[in-house]
Amino acid sequence: MESTQRNAQATAQATAQATAQATAQAIELATELALNFHRGQRDADGDPYILHLMRVMLKCHSASAKQAGLLHDILEDTAATEEDLIQAGICPNVTQSVKRLTRPAHIDYADYILALADDPIAKEVKIADIEDNYAIGRVKYRSEHRLEDAHRLERYILSHRFLSGHLQSTEYIEAMKLVGSA
């Protein structure tokens, strides 16, 4: 009996270690892809763009969301394709979430948020992305773009509240109409 319990504990421990190793490898792969495809890109402050992706990843909890957090802008801001992610070994559910996180130019921002809200990975990443984008230390004051910047922040706040469960979709849609959700 005691031997059976030890064997079960050893098996459970080995499984946990294998899972942790696979998770680490998946995050390392996503990091490598993000570094390669975003190489040379800078944010508005002139910092390497990868820092934004790392901050988003660090705010995420699940391993899949961490991967998607690192890759959330790769299809929108680089030459990478969905096929590149799949061929590199990114799992299909993460690749699908990255695709959902990519906003086509012709899609209204509110519609984009409503569409990704049903994907738990995309939702977790978008909340982290919004939090990083409107962190007070990162928001610029541009007097010549005051109203545009204020509307963008208002869209971020409303989207964050909706994705976090503080607004129902009908409330969100109505509020976004008031601020102009494009």
Hey, what are 170's tokens? 């009908």
pLDDT tier at 15, thresholds 50, 70, 90: low
Does the pLDDT of residue 122 top 90, yes or no? yes
- Predicted confidence (pLDDT) per residue in 27-49, tens digit: 999 999 999 999 999 998 899 99
Average pLDDT, the chain: 91
| Residue 168: CATH number of its domain | 1.10.3210.10
pLDDT of residue 12: 59
- Count how many domains the chain has: 1
Entry pTM: 0.87
In this prediction, residues 103-112 reach a mean pLDDT of 94
Domain span including residue 48: 2-179
Q: How far apart are CA 110 and CA 21, in angstroms?
A: 38
In this prediction, residues 66-74 reach a mean pLDDT of 98
Instruction: Count Cβ atoms within 10 A of the Cβ of residue 54 and give its class: 0-12 exposed, 13-18 middle, 19 or more buried.
Output: middle
